[in-house]
Amino acid sequence: MRTSYDQKPYCRLMMETRGAKIHPLPSIVTVSGREILESNPSYPGSLGIVISEAVEIAAINSNTKYYLSSVLNHVLLHQTVIGEEFIKQLEALNKKPDLITGCTGCWSNFSGLMFTFIREKIEGRMNPVFQAVEPAACSSLTKGVLGYMLMILGIQLG
């Protein structure tokens, strides 16, 4: 998204040093991106736009495939690598956590960390307290509005 592109220059730099070509979204690279920019040149972007542009690029390039991940449940399985790696690090230090804190957003990072420790707690190997945190600027747990958001071709409805 354009906001991530602007606010995280070091992430962009890291990817570019490894050969990636990074575009702020909405971009001028796709038809859907150009249409959005024509109607609002300063649009900050959204997950729907990211998905729309990725699907469009995959559809017109025979050597490209699109795999939707972050907004679907199956992503949680491979995100548990985060928790598994953390447990291995704690074992190497012979430590057990009292508190596990994780950031929320699309929940995959948080769940990937917490699900592994929930298993450990259920099986009696650890007894941590779990804490979800979120940025004050875009809080959805503490200040959010209960409702639904439908994403159609990068346009937020509802």
Banded pLDDT at 158 (limits 50, 70, 90) = very low
Pick the more confident residue, 13 or 78.
13
Residue linked to tokens 């099986």: 123
Q: Which of 46, 65, 60 is nearest to 158 (CA)?
A: 46
pLDDT at 123 over 70: yes
d(CA 52, CA 30): 9
User: pLDDT digit string (tens) for 31-44?
Assistant: 999 999 999 998 88
pLDDT at 97: 95
Same domain, 64 and 79: no
DSSP for residue 94: T
Containing structural domain, residue 89: 75-138
DSSP for residue 158: -
Query: Cis before residue 26, ω within 30 degrees of 0?
Result: yes
Domain end point (choices 68, 94, 111): 68
Banded pLDDT at 150 (limits 50, 70, 90) = low
High-pLDDT (> 70) share of the chain, %: 86
Which residue type sits at 103? C
Tell whether 82 is covered by a domain.
yes
Domain end point (choices 68, 86, 103): 68
- Say if residues 30 and 36 touch (Cβ distance below 8 Å): no
pLDDT at 99 over 90: yes
Same domain, 63 and 82: no
pLDDT at 144: 67
- Say if residues 13 and 20 touch (Cβ distance below 8 Å): no
Tell whether 145 is covered by a domain.
no
Domain end point (choices 18, 43, 68): 68
- Angstrom CA distances, 138 to 105, 109, 110, 133, 143, stand at 9, 17, 16, 11, 8
Number of domains observed in the structure of the chain: 2
Pick the more confident residue, 123 or 149.
123
pLDDT at 147: 61
User: Residues 129, 73, 157, 51: is their CA dihedral positive or negative?
Assistant: positive
User: pLDDT digit string (tens) for 48-75?
Assistant: 888 889 999 999 999 998 887 666 777 7
d(CA 135, CA 106): 13
